[in-house]
Every structure is written in C-alpha cells, then in structure tokens.
Amino acid sequence: MGGDTGADVVVPAALQALADDPQLALILVGDQDTLREVLARHNGSAGERLRIHHASQVVSMDDLPSHALRSKKDSSMRVAINLVKEGAAQACVSAGNTGALMATARFVLKMLPGVNRPAICTTLPTLRGHVHVLDLGANVDSSAEHLFEFAVMGSELAAAIDGNPAPTIGLLNIGEEEIKGNEQVKQAAQLLQNSKLNYIGYVEGDGIYAGDADVVVCDGFVGNVMLKTSEGVVKMVVAFMREAFQRNLFTKLSALVVLPVMRALKKRIDPREYNGASLLGLRGIVVKSHGSADAKAFATAIREAVQEVKQNVPQRIRNKLETVLVEERVG
Amino acid sequence: MGGDTGADVVVPAALQALADDPQLALILVGDQDTLREVLARHNGSAGERLRIHHASQVVSMDDLPSHALRSKKDSSMRVAINLVKEGAAQACVSAGNTGALMATARFVLKMLPGVNRPAICTTLPTLRGHVHVLDLGANVDSSAEHLFEFAVMGSELAAAIDGNPAPTIGLLNIGEEEIKGNEQVKQAAQLLQNSKLNYIGYVEGDGIYAGDADVVVCDGFVGNVMLKTSEGVVKMVVAFMREAFQRNLFTKLSALVVLPVMRALKKRIDPREYNGASLLGLRGIVVKSHGSADAKAFATAIREAVQEVKQNVPQRIRNKLETVLVEERVG
C-alpha cells in the first residue's frame, strides 16, 4: 500500500474488518517491515486470516499510470492486483492513485468480453436511500455505446448489492439547453429505451440526490465534477455551520445542545459511510478507497469488496452483457 | 411575465427594488389587467418609476425556443427584450424558460462582435466569498475557443461587479483521468496560458466552493450538472437536518435553541442571495432569475441587472474581446 493512505490507515481498518466478519481473510500488501511494525502498534499480528505479502515499491499519487505500469512492477498496487489475477485473493482494495489503479487493473486482469471501457461506480446517499453513480472519471468523451455499457454494469451492480432485480436507471442530463442535452446522451437514451433495462429517462443533477433513480449514468468527466462538487458543497456547509456556532457564547453553548442532532446528520452525509468505488468491467474485483479515507472509511471499502465477492459481480456483469448483446442481435 | 414565476412574485419584488434604490425605474411587461390587479393587491400603483407595458402572450416552460421565437412575438419575454433593443429599457430580467430567453435575446439583441456563443454566468458562495461560474447550460460540446471566450466574458463580468481588475480564472477539470481532462479543456488551458487573463490553472469540483478561483469556466453541460447537483446536495442536507431535529422532544426543543445559528447558516447558502444569472455575450443586458425564485430572490436578480447597467458590462466585454483578439493577432 502507499499513496495518501498508508499502513496507519489500512492496518487498523483491516483489523476492524476481520473482527466484524469472521469469514474474512486479508492479505496486506506492502513493505513487510513497515506492516509488521504498524500491526504490532495496533496490537495485531499476522496469522492465517491476516497475511503479509511483501512489495518493495509504491505508486505515488503523482505517478503517471504509464510510468506505474512500466517501472513499478513490484509496487503494492501491482502485486495486490496480481494476487487477484492468480486467484490468491478474490478482490483488491486500494486507496492509491486512481489512474494507475485502473490502468494496472485493466492490464493485469483484462476486461470482460463485451466491455469496451471499464467504469468507476460509487454509492451516494439520497433523500430516499442511496444511488449508484457511474462513470466517475475512468473515461472522458464517452460515446452513446459506452454510456449504455455503463448502464448495464451499474444495473447489475445495483441488482447484486441491493438485491433489487430491476433497479431504475437514469441518464444524467440537463434541462436548460435548447436542444436538450448533447448528442451522446440523446443517442444513449435511444439505446436504453430499446433495451430491457429498467430505464426511466433523464435525471438532472438535483435528481441524483432526490433519489430519482437507483442508478445514474454519465460520462466520467461529468461524473467526476458532480462527485467533487458534492464534496465541496458539503465541506462548505459544514464550515459555515462551524462558524455560525462559533459566533458567541450563546451559539457555542447551543452547539452542545444540538450535538446529538449534528451527529445523526453527519452520519447520514458522512462520505466514510459510502466509501469504496467499484472498478467495473474487469475480470476481477477492484475497489478504490478515497485517497483521504480514514480507517473507518477504508473498512467500508473492504465491506464493499466482500459484498461484490459474495455476489460474484464480475460474472453477473458478464452474463448480463451477453444477454444484452444477444437481445441486440435478435432485436 | 409568465413561466413558473408570475406577477405574484415579480410585482412585490419590483416594489421592493424600487423602495431600495431611488434611482431605479422599472417597466412591468405582461398582461396589463393582471399586473394592475396584483399591483393594487400589494398596495402599489403604476407611475413614473413603475410603468406597465402590455404583452398578450406568455412563453411557457415547455415551449421550445424555436416555437417561442416564431409564434410568440407578443410574449412578455419578447416584448421585454424588444424594449432593451429599442433603448426603452437598459436591461431585461426574466424568470421564464431559459432556452427561449437565450434564443430570443440572441435573435433580438444579437451577439457582440467576436462572440461565437453567448454563455450563462451565475454567482455562487464559496468558503472565501463568491465565485462566478460559466457556462451553465447555454452551450453543450464547447470547443477550446468557446471556453476561452467564456473566460474573457467571465473575467470582465467579475472585474465589473467585484471591482477586481484581475480576477483569477480557473478551468474546471478532473484529476482522476489518466490523461487528465478532455481535449477541449487541455487546449483551452493552452489558450488561457498564452493570454493576459489572470489564469491560475485547473480547478476541480470541490475547488469551486473552496474559492480556488474568482471565475470558473466550463462547458454548459458540465456547468449545469454542477449547479443542479449543488442544489440537490443542499436540499438533501437541509431535509436530513429537519428529520434529525424532528426525532424526539429533546431534539425538537434543541431546534429552537439553534434557530439563530440556523438562520445565519441559511443566509450564507441561500440561493436567493445569489439569484440572477447573466446572459453574457449579447449586445444588451439580460438576467435570468431562477424559475422557482420568490420575491426576495427576484429582487436580487433585479439588483444584479442594475449593477451590470451601472458597469456597462456588454461594452466592457466588447472592449476586452477586442483587446484579446488584437493580442492574439499581434502575439
């Protein structure tokens, strides 16, 4: 492991995940001396359910994906994905450089047949529950066919994780343009309308959080801006709230009174409760934890990976894609 | 006037704006009988500073811009923009259909020389103050040259409104993609780097609200999703907060204690305090009020228009564009 999140986050997260799930076994990949030391500091030790696998290199947040691929063949990231490829692990969870993670996963694991572009999918809270949104930055300039693929993959992930056989699919669009939306989105809408997916039409930015659809599909540039913007708004609101409570003695005291309310609110919008973005379209399970995730958030990402393993998400996506492709050929 | 917002919003907003600004004179455009009736209900009357101009038609929120242009030549929207064209009014403020408003404004007022595409620009709160963001949906699939034009227009608007001679300009981009961003954004960055604008580089979604730049430039599809997403996040947080306070008697009572804090917070993130999006690149001033704006918010949009009139924003943009074009030719 490396990147923003080092052993100090991953090790306690791993210990927590193992305590929570007796069926789970984990392999920590990284510098073995560091891992042993940090494990000891957290009163943990390696054993049957928690193995250490040495890797001598680290992919930094600044490394270009191409550089990581070429020159860091013994990085924790590469070695962890190799373990998935070899079948020694069923999933890889990483908080490292997203571009390098995606490139390495594509190179080592390969894509599922029928997938032209993998996508990054995350879960976000909504007024009604939660929503799966993809793509969040694996692709820019997605064509209608790519958006359609994302819809198939997102639909199957939602079906697997939420146990909802026909999740509703919305296509992210805008309502303000003369000729509503752009060409790619309009063509993707056609493809979705003609498919057997539970497509419900366009969703606007505010509809994501209103819970208008179970799955929202968009180009990675748009999705990444959407996600980062949301984080920015929440940070700003929290900062303004803090300032408002700091104003005078009365407001400071009132902060104490509303502490339980604020805790309840925080829990509902806490990105740590939703951490863990899935790299979809690969022949293996890779979950990306947020670069600034703490141990609790990293444990959430591990749980996401466990869910995907239990539901065999890559195989489900593969089957779904085959059905869809057959439908397209027949229809 | 028509659209979501009718005379019941615009009339009290106009009366408020007139009370606040003794130099202001307004023309209410719409069905004269309705306007007189609503004016009377709000204890107002027409006079030298508040004239009524009859218009027999209304552009609905569902009207296609082309239909509004062709078949609604006596709509309140069209007539109000005609008044600007004729010099009878110095600006038009409308809460109507954005697509129709932009199409009508382009058709009637025409674009400034050197502008290929007009843009919609709004102001948003940030941790440090506020930011001007454009485009918000007038254009999709903007080229690098279009993005550059938006930067010039946004820079000049910020300079005029904030009295800041060299506002910082950021280009909205993503940090997650292997080849960071898309082609248009990368090329626009080149154009901006070579210009005399105060370009500071890429800004990510969360950087908008962190206040990383005074002006953030993006394609209209991306900008519209960004804006709507922000609205959606705020709505969700407010709804969760309300639920948290409703939980039990103690939390309900605590809501009363923090009322002043919540009011202070609300004021800082209240979209009504930031209402009024400017249609830039036209030979005249047109300000779009949010479709769901109340009287207070509509009055904010009127103030925005007054500011633009005082600063002669279209002429300033025209001058700036000429300088930039000369620079390009010389450089």
Residues A131 and A260 in one domain: yes
Reference B189, options B179, B200, B174; nearest CA is B200
d(CA A137, CA B145): 24
CB A218 within 8 A of CB A133: yes
Q: How confident is the model over A43-60, as pLDDT tens digits?
A: 999 999 999 999 999 999
Q: How confident is the model over B282-313, as pLDDT tens digits?
A: 999 999 998 888 999 999 999 999 999 999 99
Range A190-205 average pLDDT: 94
Q: List, in order, residues 6 or more apart from A280 with CB less than 8 Å away.
A: A118, A119, A120, A121, A134, A150, A153, A154, A157, A313, A317
Chain A touched by B227 (CB under 8 Å): yes
d(CA B79, CA B1): 10
Reference B114, options B82, B140, B150, B139; nearest CA is B150
Of A64, A230, A265, the CB nearest to B229: A230
In the three-class reduction of DSSP (H, G, I as helix; E, B as strand; rest coil), residue A312 is classed as coil
Stretch 116-145 of chain B: residues touching chain A, C-beta under 8 Å:
120, 125-127, 136-141
Chain B touched by A24 (CB under 8 Å): no
Cβ <8 Å between B265 and A257 = no
Interface with chain B: mutation pick from A106, A176, A212, A259, highest number of B CBs within 10 Å: A176
Cβ <8 Å between B205 and A232 = yes
Q: How confident is the model over B134-175, as pLDDT tens digits?
A: 999 988 889 999 999 999 999 999 999 999 999 999 999 997
Residues A197 and A293 in one domain: no
Cis ω for the linkage preceding B31 (within 30 of 0) = no
Number of domains in chain A: 2
Of A65, A229, A265, the CB nearest to B229: A229
Q: Taking the model in full, what pTM does it have?
A: 0.92
Domain contains B320: no
Cβ <8 Å between B233 and A209 = yes
> With b meaning 16 or more CB within 10 Å and e meaning fewer, what string describes A222-236?
bbbbbbbbbbbbbeb
Residues B131 and B15 in one domain: no
Of A102, A125, A237, the CB nearest to B269: A237
Tell me the CATH number at A195. 3.40.718.10
Residue B28 has pLDDT above 50, yes or no: yes
Residue B178 has pLDDT above 70, yes or no: no
Cβ <8 Å between B177 and A257 = no
CB B127 within 8 A of CB B114: no
Q: List, in order, residues 6 or more apart from B25 with CB less than 8 Å away.
A: B18, B48, B49, B50, B51
Mean of the per-residue pLDDT values of chain A: 91
d(CA A155, CA B105): 42
Q: In Å, how far is A178's CA from the nearest CA of chain B?
A: 5
Residue B131 has pLDDT above 70, yes or no: yes
pLDDT of residue A258: 83
Cα end-to-end distance, chain B, whole Å: 47
CB half-sphere exposure, B54, CA atoms < 13 A: 5
Chain B touched by A266 (CB under 8 Å): no
Largest CA distance in chain A: 71
Residues A195 and A70 in one domain: no
Chain A touched by B240 (CB under 8 Å): yes
d(CA A264, CA A270): 10
Q: List, in order, residues 6 or more apart from A1 with CB less than 8 Å away.
A: A7, A10, A28, A29, A30, A58, A76, A94, A95, A96
Residue with tokens 């409104």: B161
Q: In Å, how far is B319's CA from the nearest CA of chain A?
A: 28
Residues B65 and B196 in one domain: no
In the three-class reduction of DSSP (H, G, I as helix; E, B as strand; rest coil), residue B101 is classed as helix
Residues B243 and B300 in one domain: no
Domain contains B2: no
d(CA B42, CA B26): 16
Q: In Å, how far is A5's CA from the nearest CA of chain B?
A: 16
CB B302 within 8 A of CB B93: yes
- Other CB atoms within 10 Å distance of the CB of residue A19: 11
Q: Label residue B177 by pLDDT band (50, 70, 90).
A: low
pLDDT of residue A252: 85
Query: Which residue of B lies nearest to A136 if distances are taken between CA atoms?
Result: B176
Of B177, B206, B221, the CB nearest to A222: B221
Chain A touched by B266 (CB under 8 Å): no
Domain contains A314: no
Query: Which residue of A lies nearest to B171 if distances are taken between CA atoms?
Result: A225
What percent of chain B stands above pLDDT 70?
95
Of A220, A241, A268, the CB nearest to B240: A268
Cβ <8 Å between B204 and A127 = no
Domain contains B330: no
Q: How many CB pairs under 8 A join A and B?
A: 224
d(CA A136, CA A128): 22
Phi, psi torsion values for A50, nearest 5 degrees: -140, 95
Domain contains B326: no
Cβ <8 Å between A177 and B233 = no
3-state helix, strand, coil in chain A (%, to 5): 55, 15, 30
pLDDT of residue A4: 40
Query: Which residue of A lies nearest to B236 if distances are taken between CA atoms?
Result: A127
What percent of chain A stands above pLDDT 90?
73
Reference A102, options A152, A63, A71, A153; nearest CA is A63
Residues A80 and A211 in one domain: no
Reference A59, options A29, A33, A88, A84; nearest CA is A29
Residues B128 and B268 in one domain: yes
CB B58 within 8 A of CB B35: no
Of A103, A138, A241, the CB nearest to B265: A241
What is the extent of the structural domain holding A158? 124-273
Q: Label residue B129 by pLDDT band (50, 70, 90).
A: very high
Q: In what helix (H) or strand (E) does residue A20 lie, and over which residues does it extend?
A: helix A7-20
Residue A236 has pLDDT above 80, yes or no: yes
Domain contains A47: yes
Range B217-235 average pLDDT: 94
Q: In terms of DSSP H, where are the helices of A72-165?
A: 76-86, 98-109, 144-162
Chain B residues close to A220, C-beta within 8 Å? 174, 176-177
Residue with tokens 């999740």: A167
d(CA B152, CA B157): 9
Residue A107 has pLDDT above 90, yes or no: yes
Residues A128 and A256 in one domain: yes
Q: In Å, how far is B18's CA from the nearest CA of chain A?
A: 30
Residues A92 and A37 in one domain: yes
Torsion angle in degrees (nearest 10) through CA of A83, A87, A89, A92:
60
Domain contains A132: yes
Q: How confident is the model over A139-166, as pLDDT tens digits?
A: 888 999 999 999 999 999 999 999 999 9
Domain contains B287: yes
Residues B92 and B138 in one domain: no
Residues A130 and A266 in one domain: yes
Query: Which residue of A lies nearest to B207 if distances are taken between CA atoms?
Result: A232
